[in-house]
Chain A
Amino acid sequence: MHKDSSPQRPPFRRLLIANRGEIAVRIVRACRELGIESVAVYSEADTDAMHVAVADLAVAIGPRAASDSYLSIPAVIAAARQTGAQAVHPGYGFLSENAAFARAVEEAGLAWIGPPPATQEALGNKLAARRSVTDAGVPVVPGLLVALEDGELPDLSSIGYPAMLKAAAGGGGRGMRRISRPEELPSAVESARREALSAFGDGTLYVERLISPARHIEVQLLGDRHGNLAVLGERDCSVQRRHQKLVEETPSPAVTPEVRRALFDSARRVAATVEFHNAATVEFLLDGEGNHYFLEMNTRLQVEHGITELVTGIDIVAWQIRIAAGEPLPAELLDPEPRGHAVEVRIYAEDPYAGFRPVAGAVTAWRLPGGPGVRIDHAVTPGAALAPEYDPLLAKVMVHAADRPAALARLRRALDEMVVGGLQTDLGFHRWLVDEPGFAAGDYHTGLIPELWGESGPPVDPLDASLAALLAREARAARSGSDGSDGSNGAADLAGRVAPDRAWARLAREEARR
């Protein structure tokens, strides 16, 4: 029997998606397959966005600033009421881990597609979660179990250096700082607090020892409202910049069957500390000796859920919705046997040759890979300027094949098929990564980018430089041929900016010498 056999009738008639971008499009797709009408919400920046175009209904919820639109609980709830939606899916980011929003959804009589608000509250505070999972016998990263008071500089001698400063309300690498020496502490505390306050509205910080080298491994959980819990395997998310994930794969090349059993056991223990149902991810660090340490539990859908869907054949988003409607997980989903290997690379509008800084602009050329074992989730509209207010994720390129070498060959092929014009993206980094010997061997850790790529990556390959020169020359020649001008009388343009007599005098002298 197929694992994803459709329900007899749609779990809900109409569902509101409180998000934008590729994840909103992903949720619309699940809705369509389940026979549910989808409602998109959008800010003034997203009038022409793809998630608005593909949804059955769309409601404007406010201005460009996320704080007044996608993060506005009253605006989203009003849109749900206005359209008669019965359920709300928050996606990831924005309000997805906001317990106040989850409560507002339930108080409005709507189904919340995610773990219960009380669970989100208990686990949303990373510091409180550290304390409760320690009591459940799950190993945590050594460090302080209490918050740093405002203006207080902690004594880190018991933890040792380097240490990591983290935001209790944190996530996505924000509010995190590495501290190598005591002198770095004051400025790190100040900037981390400011970043945490601006990102989460809560500047509470705590300190952990830095585990290095380490792999970042997470375990995907799916639980129904009848006490059944499925562990859908692990994902290795060790390729990171700014403590944010860039590449994920499953299974992890670093996880042996023994380590996997221990990770899954810890993940189940973490889930048991709370009333859990729906989808969540338990994140761990894995050190070189195979010891794992709990980091946090994300009570929402992850960006990288797609690779787990590829190897398990389970539609996580569809099951989130079915679980919220009360459906039990069938027995064959509770102990899935993953097949093959899947890898995801995230294509961001950022420049890996300049410290992965965000770039502005619009995508022009946009050709996506396809063929066997390739899945692309994206919401790019070529020609439309990217909104700097939101996450700069352009696309997730996912591949699935029988084993890791075949998956990497497929990824290399897919990246070579992909064409992105108009702005610099991470694509060149990913193309480099596929052939990086440590990554190709599965032997890498969270220090890969700082240690092997650095701020700017390798210099431009000489062949690539000359190929670029060839292509630019042919492009200019082709342009000249089509509009009849040879583009050689640029002096007319320059005359306004350069003292004309001086420029022309120089040209005349050079002309005479020629």
Chain B
Amino acid sequence: MSRDLELRVAGEAAEAPEGWTVGWIDRAGGVARLSDGSRSLLAVVEGSGSSWTVMLRGRRISVTVRTWRERVLADAESGATLHDGPIEIRATLPGLVVALALAEGAEVAEGDALLTIEAMKMQNEVRAPRAGRVASMAVTPGQTVATGALLLRLE
């Protein structure tokens, strides 16, 4: 069945290279040896279903491996969830909210600083991905946030 699987890397269609083979070193742990007969590399693969992550030469590469049915259903889903509503800004790293650059109701341009999160003792500014108005602030200074936590809504 593997020949029928659709492969995508970073959103682009990808093909397995000719002449390379996979040998498992630790199948449960996802550690494998890739070889073309004259050279070899170690890599790790982790994931499930259609969503996989490969660590190769120290770089994390996301791969989508989909059956024909999954592709059609996923396309249907993305069509169903398109909307023009407000966007949610979420934390991309865990840390401590140290400062809000703006209050609710503020108009922002793309790239404007919204708030600052301190993580690993570094100050990281969260910036507006597009222009809009701060509809609501979900955090206050001093609050610890996890990755994915809602920070604010932009409309």
Cβ contact within 8 Å between B31 and A367:
yes
> Given A365-B29, A421-B31, are A431 and B2 also a contact pair (CB < 8 Å)?
no
Q: Let me know if B136 is at the binding interface, CB within 8 A.
A: no
In the bound complex, how far is the Cα of B31 from the Cα of A174, in angstroms? 38
Q: In the complex, which residue of chain B has the Cβ closest to the Cβ of A503?
A: B76
**Interface hit among B55-63, B82-90, B103-111:** B55-63
Q: Let me know if A180 is at the binding interface, CB within 8 A.
A: no
Q: Let me know if B50 is at the binding interface, CB within 8 A.
A: yes
Cβ contact within 8 Å between B123 and A365:
no
Cβ contact within 8 Å between A424 and B60:
yes
* Contact among B26, B42, B47, B118 for A416, CB-based, below 8 A: B42
In the bound complex, how far is the Cα of B77 from the Cα of A499, in angstroms? 8
Cβ contact within 8 Å between B76 and A506:
yes
Contacts of A178 in B (CB 8 A): none
> Given A467-B43, A475-B30, are A358 and B58 also a contact pair (CB < 8 Å)?
no
* Contact among A431, A476, A489, A499 for B5, CB-based, below 8 A: A476
Cβ contact within 8 Å between A471 and B34:
yes
**13 A-B Cβ contacts within 8 A?**
A364-B30, A364-B44, A365-B29, A416-B42, A423-B60, A429-B58, A460-B10, A465-B9, A469-B63, A471-B54, A472-B54, A490-B73, A498-B76
Q: Let me know if B38 is at the binding interface, CB within 8 A.
A: no
In the bound complex, how far is the Cα of B7 from the Cα of A470, in angstroms? 8
Residues of B within 8 A of A (CB): 1-2, 5, 7-10, 12, 14-17, 20, 22, 24, 26-27, 29-32, 34, 41-50, 52, 54-61, 63, 65, 67-70, 72-77, 80, 92-95, 98-99, 118-124, 147
Cβ contact within 8 Å between B15 and A469:
yes
> Given A421-B46, A469-B7, A478-B24, are A460 and B59 also a contact pair (CB < 8 Å)?
yes
Contacts of A507 in B (CB 8 A): 69, 72-73, 76
Cβ contact within 8 Å between B27 and A473:
no
* Contact among A195, A360, A417 for B42, CB-based, below 8 A: A417
Contacts of A498 in B (CB 8 A): 73, 76-77, 80
Contacts of A195 in B (CB 8 A): 123
In the bound complex, how far is the Cα of B74 from the Cα of A230, in angstroms? 67
In the bound complex, how far is the Cα of B50 from the Cα of A480, in angstroms? 12
Range of interface residues on A (Cβ < 8 Å) = 35 or more
In the bound complex, how far is the Cα of B136 from the Cα of A158, in angstroms? 46
Q: Let me know if A109 is at the binding interface, CB within 8 A.
A: no
Cβ contact within 8 Å between A365 and B2:
no
Residues of A within 8 A of B (CB): 172, 174, 191, 194-195, 198-199, 242, 350-351, 353, 357-360, 364-365, 367, 388, 391-392, 415-431, 460-461, 463-480, 486-491, 493-494, 497-499, 502-503, 506-507, 510, 514
For the complex of A and B, 6 pairs with smallest distance between CB atoms: A428-B58, A427-B58, A470-B16, A421-B44, A472-B63, A472-B52
Contacts of B57 in A (CB 8 A): 428, 431, 461, 464
Cβ contact within 8 Å between A472 and B67:
no
Contacts of B58 in A (CB 8 A): 415, 418, 420, 425-431
Contacts of B74 in A (CB 8 A): 494
A251, chain B: closest CB distance, angstroms: 27
Contacts of A479 in B (CB 8 A): 48
Contacts of A480 in B (CB 8 A): 1
In the bound complex, how far is the Cα of B20 from the Cα of A414, in angstroms? 23
In the bound complex, how far is the Cα of B34 from the Cα of A199, in angstroms? 45
Contacts of A420 in B (CB 8 A): 44, 55, 58
Other than A469-B7, A476-B2, give 16 A-B pairs with Cβ distance below 8 A: A367-B42, A392-B120, A416-B41, A419-B31, A427-B58, A428-B57, A460-B10, A466-B9, A467-B34, A473-B16, A474-B45, A475-B47, A480-B1, A486-B1, A490-B50, A494-B77
Contacts of A506 in B (CB 8 A): 72-73, 75-76
Cβ contact within 8 Å between A464 and B56:
yes
Cβ contact within 8 Å between A388 and B119:
yes
Contacts of B12 in A (CB 8 A): 465
* Contact among B31, B56, B61, B98 for A365, CB-based, below 8 A: B31
Cβ contact within 8 Å between A358 and B63:
no
Contacts of A364 in B (CB 8 A): 29-30, 44, 46
* Contact among A198, A360, A431, A467 for B17, CB-based, below 8 A: A467
Cβ contact within 8 Å between A468 and B120:
no
In the bound complex, how far is the Cα of B55 from the Cα of A430, in angstroms? 14
* Contact among B5, B54, B92 for A468, CB-based, below 8 A: B54
Contacts of A360 in B (CB 8 A): 93-94, 147
Contacts of A473 in B (CB 8 A): 2, 5, 7, 16, 65
Contacts of B50 in A (CB 8 A): 476, 487, 490
Cβ contact within 8 Å between B119 and A419:
no
Cβ contact within 8 Å between B14 and A466:
yes
In the bound complex, how far is the Cα of B24 from the Cα of A474, in angstroms? 10
In the bound complex, how far is the Cα of B147 from the Cα of A441, in angstroms? 40
Cβ contact within 8 Å between A487 and B14:
no
Cβ contact within 8 Å between B14 and A490:
no
Cβ contact within 8 Å between B119 and A358:
yes
Q: In the complex, which residue of chain B has the Cβ closest to the Cβ of A493?
A: B49
Q: In the complex, which residue of chain B has the Cβ closest to the Cβ of A392?
A: B120
In the bound complex, how far is the Cα of B27 from the Cα of A470, in angstroms? 15
> Given A365-B29, A490-B69, are A467 and B41 also a contact pair (CB < 8 Å)?
yes
Cβ contact within 8 Å between B77 and A419:
no
Cβ contact within 8 Å between A474 and B5:
no
Cβ contact within 8 Å between A466 and B16:
yes
Contacts of A419 in B (CB 8 A): 31, 42-44, 55
Q: In the complex, which residue of chain B has the Cβ closest to the Cβ of A466?
A: B17
